[in-house]
């Protein structure tokens, strides 16, 4: 499997699990998106924007460091909660 298809599979799995409220699932998604943001920042940014209402605050604060739109995400997150 090439990197592109691997990243697509990771993204599909994250989409399936993002509504889970369990801390370790949320943390795993955060780590995966954080790593993905280093290579595909637009994909990670879109994922966070699309699923913001399901993602724990800890994940937003810890795993969006590499995103240019981080401040906007945090502001939007705070408005949702």
pLDDT in tens, 6-61: 889 999 999 999 999 999 999 999 999 999 998 889 999 999 999 999 999 999 99
* First and final C-alpha spacing in the chain: 39
Its pTM stands at: 0.89
Confidence of residue 1 (pLDDT cuts 50, 70, 90): very low
Other beta carbons within 10 Å of 31: 13
For the chain, domain boundaries: 3-80
């Amino acid at each position: 499997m090439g990197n592109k298809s691997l990243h697509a599979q990771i993204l599909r799995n994250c989409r399936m699990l993002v509504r889970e409220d369990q801390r370790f699932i949320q943390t795993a998604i955060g780590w995966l998106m954080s790593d993905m943001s280093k290579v595909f920042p637009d994909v990670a940014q879109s994922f966070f924007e699309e699923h913001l209402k399901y993602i724990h605050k800890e994940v937003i604060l810890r795993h969006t460091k590499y995103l240019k739109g981080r401040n906007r995400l945090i502001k939007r997150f705070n408005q949702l909660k």
